[in-house]
Amino acid sequence: MTKGGRSKYTQLEILDQYYTVAEVARMLNVHEMTVRDWYWKGNLKIQRVGRKGIRIAAWDLKAFLAQLNEARPA
């Protein structure tokens, strides 16, 4: 944080980040297999990195979470 409580990163810089399955699982307090299940079912977009690597863009994660919140009953 910088003076005045502002973050040193812009919102665009944060949304340009990529996370591993393990990082997303830690952030959301779920098991890695839960995250994998989300993308296997087509609910969460992923980016392939090499033959086995997977990354999740912050933008796609944000969109997935918004969709998840909309589907949650009030």
Element housing 58 (H / E): helix 58-71
Inside any domain, residue 52: yes
The tens digit of pLDDT for each residue in 3-21 reads 555 555 555 555 679 999 9
Residue where the block lists tokens 């990082």: 23
Q: Is residue 56 part of a domain?
A: yes
Burial class (CB in 10 A: 0-12, 13-18, 19+), 11: exposed
* 15 found inside a domain: no
Q: Which two tokens stand for residue 22?
A: 């393990």
In-domain check, residue 39:
yes
6 in a domain, yes or no?
no
Number of domains in the chain: 1
Domain contains 44: yes
Say if CB 55 and CB 24 are below 8 A apart.
Answer: no
Average pLDDT, stretch 37-58?
94
pTM for the full predicted model: 0.74
The whole domain housing 32 covers 21-69
Look at residue 69 in the predicted model and tell me its pLDDT: 85
Write the single-letter amino acid at 12.
L
18: helix, strand or coil? strand
Is residue 14 situated within a structural domain?
A: no
The verdict on residue 41 lying in a domain is: yes
CA distance 26 to 21: 9
